[in-house]
Homo-oligomer: A and B are copies of this chain.
Amino acid sequence: MSIVVQNIERVDLGLIDALAQSGVATAHEAQRRTGLMAPYMRPIYSGARIAGNAVTVSLPPADNWMIHVAVEQCREGDILVVAPTSASDTGYLGDLLACSLAARGVRGLIIDGGVRDVRELTTMQFPVWSRAIYAQGTVKETLGSVNVPVVCAGALVRPGDAIIADDDGVCVVPRESAAEVVRQSQAREQKEAAVRARLKAGELGLDIYGMREKLAAKGLKYQ
């Protein structure tokens, strides 16, 4: 049963942009250390930091037909999240599909598989996080689904969830908690800015966080 769900709820783009501002590590902490994809998901070039609304694709290994179907469901501010039903390093997307996605305002691709034409993707600054870079082509023979819940690189992604991706990896923020995660992230950043200044001035975390007593109680000995 292959379906395309057309009208999904999305996170407001103002919140999305605030999530991009915070980045993966902060948002992940702000939502109690949940939502990270596996560390094998790496960016094809460094320095990009994006957030967007997930349009999800579940497709068979080594078959990229459903990505063509998914493009039509994308709009400004989306991120395409592609999860093959079994792992394959095959290159599911190249510069042509990236052009098509960029033309619709898609901000990047998250794929638990391979990608190709990375030189061209880098030139056009279309960021991709993938498990592999591989030129191997796919077929277009078997259906999958668009905008159904998927598990991508170990994380559950539902259509319309917020995705954040940067050099630290990829994090999923459930749609309904996006506003709260933005609030927590910003609070966290403010607190960290104060600590950062003290650390740069030479103060120790041992003192700032008041750890010495607890360490001694656990039995730490100095020689």
Contact = CB atoms under 8 A, between A and B. Distances in A.
A17 to B, nearest CB: 17
A186 interface: no
A119 interface: yes
A167 to B, nearest CB: 5
A72 B206 contact: yes
A6 B134 CA distance: 33
B69 A25 contact: no
Contacts of A23: 119
17 contacts: A3-B222, A25-B117, A28-B137, A36-B136, A39-B114, A45-B46, A60-B62, A62-B62, A68-B205, A68-B206, A91-B168, A95-B196, A97-B205, A118-B167, A118-B168, A143-B215, A154-B154
A78 interface: no
A88 B215 CA distance: 23
Given A2-B219, A219-B2, A219-B143, A86 B36 contact: yes
Interface size class of A (residues with CB under 8 A): 35 or more
B168 A119 contact: yes
A13 interface: no
Contacts of A219: 2, 143
Contact of A139 (B45, B60, B100, B200): B60
A103 interface: yes
Interface in A121-138: 122, 132-137
Contact of A166 (B25, B42, B119): B119
A87 B89 contact: yes
A202 interface: yes
Interface in A191-223: 192, 195-196, 199-202, 204-206, 209, 211, 215, 218-223
Nearest to A221: B3
